[in-house]
Structure 1
Amino acid sequence: MDFFFFGGGFEILFSLAFFAVLAVILVTAVRGLLQWNQNNHSPRLTVPAVVAAKRTATTHSHHNTGGAAHVTSSTTYYATFQVESGDRMELRLSGAEYGMLAEGDRGRLTFQGTRYLSFERE
């Protein structure tokens, strides 16, 4: 057992864990950059659509700094739009835009790739 901790086994496991976490961070960053680039090269489209659904995703983080516990939360807002063809797309939007939409609203959706740009009610 002592050989594992002091003979190199722990260092190998630590290195593997470090590189695994680093790989996850790099893959996430590359995916984000690829999506951003794809959105930038996609055409801006404006189509008739209906707000089919709305949802939120809330995450909580607990931090201990200087003996004091802090809790922070973050909310991400999504709306699902149904276009004339029957296809649905879920787009991320700001809290202000989310608050202005109601399920069943009809209007013109403007988007670029997976990027929400605006929704104008009819």
Structure 2
Amino acid sequence: MDQTESFNTIFFSVFGIIALLMIIVIGKTIGAGLSNQAAELVQRPCKVVDKRTRVRGGSGDFSASTYNYITFEFDGGERKELEVKDRDFGVIVIGDRGELHYKGTRFVEFVRIMEA
């Protein structure tokens, strides 16, 4: 096998692995979306116990992506952390009580209960 054949073999092997990984990631993303779409809408009373933000990227000429998460605690101590949109993250405060609406792993809304 000459040098060109070796290079071609390595190139196409690496390309094949990358293509396979991309197919797997796309498949998992589509599967999660379909699963959430088919999930039943759940409405549960809860309390907001934590908020966090994760930033990815942002070096050099690349833009950064920000992901916001809120942790909700239900009666009995069970917790669920969900990714939320910026507008929801900004108006929901730690300590808020209300009703969480979600489908699978997708946040739908949080309806705050106003205490007198």
TM-score normalised by structure 2 residue count: 0.88
Whole-angstrom CA distance in 2 between matches of 1:96 and 1:21: 36
Q: Deviations over 1:55-106 (max 9, x none)?
A: 111112456xxxxxx3411101111111113211111110110011111211
How many residues in Structure 1 have an aligned counterpart in Structure 2?
A: 113
**What is the aligned partner in structure 2 of residue 32 from structure 1?**
29
Runs of 4 or more, structure 1, over 4 Å off, are: none
Consecutive unaligned residues in structure 2, runs of 5 or more: none
- Which blocks of at least 5 consecutive residues in structure 1 are unaligned? 64-69
1:84 to 52, 71, 75: 75
Q: Please give the per-residue CA displacement for 1:10-33, whole angstroms capped at 9, x wherever unaligned.
A: 211111111111111111111111
Distance 1:11 1:100 in 2: 55
**Alignment partner of 2:105 out of 114, 119, 122:** 114
CA 1:47 to 1:20, structure 2 compared with 1: closer, same or farther past 3 Å? same
| Higher mean C-alpha displacement, 112-121 vs 80-89 | 80-89
Deviation at 1:49, TM superposition (A): 0.9
| Partner residue, 2:96 | 105
Name the one with the larger strand percent: 1
The one-letter code matched in structure 1 to 2:36 is N
Task: Give the Å deviation of 1:7.
Answer: 4.2
Identical-residue share of aligned pairs (%): 26
